[in-house]
Amino acid sequence: MPPGPSWADLLPELVCRIADGLDDLKCYASARGACRTWRHTLVLPSPSLLVDHDDDPSKRCTTAAIKRRTTAASIPARRSFELNAIPSGKLCPAARRSFKLATIPSVRTCLGCCSGWLALSVRIDDVHSLLSLFHPITAAEILLPPLVYDSRLVSKIVFAPNPATNDFMAVVIYDIDRVSYVTAGARRWAVLDPIRLAVGDQLADLLYHGNGRVYCLTRFGDVHVLLLPQRCRREPIILEGPTSTYPAVHNRQIIEMHGIGPDLNAPATIETLFSSVRSNLSFDDDAGFAPPYNTISAFTSVKNLVFCDGNLYQIWRNASCIVTLQLPEGGRCRVAHDEIFVLRYDPQRQPCWDVVADLGGYSVFIGRNNSVSIYAEGMPGLKGDCVYWIGGRGRDQGMVFDMKTGSSTPCIPLVDGVLLGSPQSTICWYFLSDK
């Protein structure tokens, strides 16, 4: 008897119809891995916007909200569907839907995201938090050593991609001028000495860029480079002895166990961006930015770093209000609310940061996630030379800034008069590995 048709022989329209019935992101990703034909037919669901629907008080107790409390809205689709809506063939070939994820406990706060993993913080008392790396597709979780200092001073976490319980590396912004890091097998976080910053300056963003290099950005635009020890596999520290069935007591045992003895992290060093490229320059506004950006830098409170096509960029946003600046060299400069500036680093010129008009066809995604750049050509729903960010006039939603028009708009349009998600519901940009 001759062999029957294979999965690859199915018509693309039928493959799309099958995928339309897969509301769960894990199932959809598995379908893309069935064969090369299916992988080519079904669009990659990333980048996505991670949305927590529990943040809408009017919908928090509804059946729909309970069923799909956390979803990943596929940005290439630029629209969302209710979890239990019946998909139609009109969605082909793009995956125009929101995908159900494993539930993220509402008592947790997301502080970072990389390669499909989230960095979560759960408060256990007024000072301490337990931190973990959590994969919302597989529900795998890696418990990190607790911070023995005031965890309310932690604002962002970055970590090496594809972590494991015996092989991970994470870095946090701690307070206004310190970073702390932890590696697999360590008992607790290693807190580095304060970074020398200008008066009134503070750390604003972290960017993990491979080979143990973490770039640290300040609100004034200064950049420092953290050089972490070589990543290696080590067994995690285990809580020994009897453990309590009461969560509060068990959590206290973890804090006490990790708070004694050496931290067991290999040493790390931190240096300025200038010294990392063997430059004798020291950072100041004039050496860093040309007018009027040496003045604007102090009035753009939200700053992020991203690597794009091998170049390092700063993304500035004025998140406060419209400001009119009197420039030292004469004249005035008006900076609109949520206006965005994109600056590229060039160590061979001075000032070394210069505003650019485009990103060479790339799009960048900034926020709680470790910043990502994607070449937009051929990606459904994405536009080149755009900055995808989260926020906007008191609404925590996904926005896209077009560098050509100089304006920002919601990256997901209205669906039947209702915007996907709700105020303060957007968590971060989410990228699922395609390997």
Are the C-beta atoms of residues 367 and 411 closer than 8 Å to each other? no
- Where are the chain's structural domains? 108-381
pLDDT at 90: 33
Select, from the ranges 61-65, 162-166, 279-283, the one with the highest average predicted confidence (pLDDT): 162-166
Mean per-residue pLDDT of the chain: 77
Give the model's confidence band at 92: pLDDT under 50 very low, under 70 low, under 90 confident, else very high. Answer: very low
Give pLDDT, residue 413. Answer: 54
Q: In what order do the strands lie in the sheet with 386-391?
A: 372-375, 362-365, 386-391, 397-402, 407-410
Q: 12-59 pLDDT, tens per residue? A: 888 888 878 777 788 888 888 888 888 888 888 889 888 776 555 444
pLDDT value, residue 261: 52
Q: Please tell me the predicted confidence (pLDDT) of residue 224.
A: 95
pLDDT value of position 50: 81
3-state SS class at 58: coil
Mean pLDDT for 123-127 is 69
Q: What is the DSSP letter of 50?
A: E
Instruction: State residue 4's pLDDT score.
Output: 61
- Mean pLDDT of the 170-193 span: 89
Residue 401: count of CB within 10 angstroms of its CB: 24
In angstroms, the CA 183 to CA 181 distance is 7
- The residue that leads in pLDDT, 232 or 367, is 367
pLDDT of residue 110: 84
pLDDT band at 242 (very low <50, low <70, confident <90, very high): very low
| Residue 344's pLDDT band (cuts 50, 70, 90) | very high
Task: Name the percent of the chain lying above pLDDT 90.
Answer: 30
Name the β-bridge partners of 182: 170
For residue range 252-307, what is the model confidence (pLDDT) as tens digits?
Answer: 555 555 555 556 677 888 998 865 454 555 566 667 898 899 888 888 989 999 99
pLDDT at 234: 59
Its pTM stands at: 0.83
The most confident of the ranges 28-42, 45-59, 146-160, 343-357 is 343-357
Q: How far is CA 84 from CA 21, 62, 236, in A?
A: 10, 13, 41
Average pLDDT over every residue of 208-232: 90
Q: Residue 123 has what pLDDT? A: 72
Average pLDDT value for residue range 72-91: 46
**329, pLDDT greater than 70:** yes
Contacts of 314 (CB under 8 A, 6+ apart): 217, 221, 223, 303, 304, 305, 342, 343, 345, 353
Residue 165 structure tokens: 């319980």
Percentage helix, strand, coil, to 5, in the chain? 15, 35, 50
Is the pLDDT at 388 greater than 80, yes or no?
yes
Number of H helices, E strands in the chain: 8, 27
CB-based burial label for 395 (10 Å; 0-12, 13-18, 19+): middle
pLDDT at 60 over 70: no
Q: How far apart are CA 252 and CA 259, in angstroms?
A: 10
C-alpha to C-alpha distance for 170 and 181, rounded to whole angstroms = 6
Higher pLDDT, 108 or 195: 195
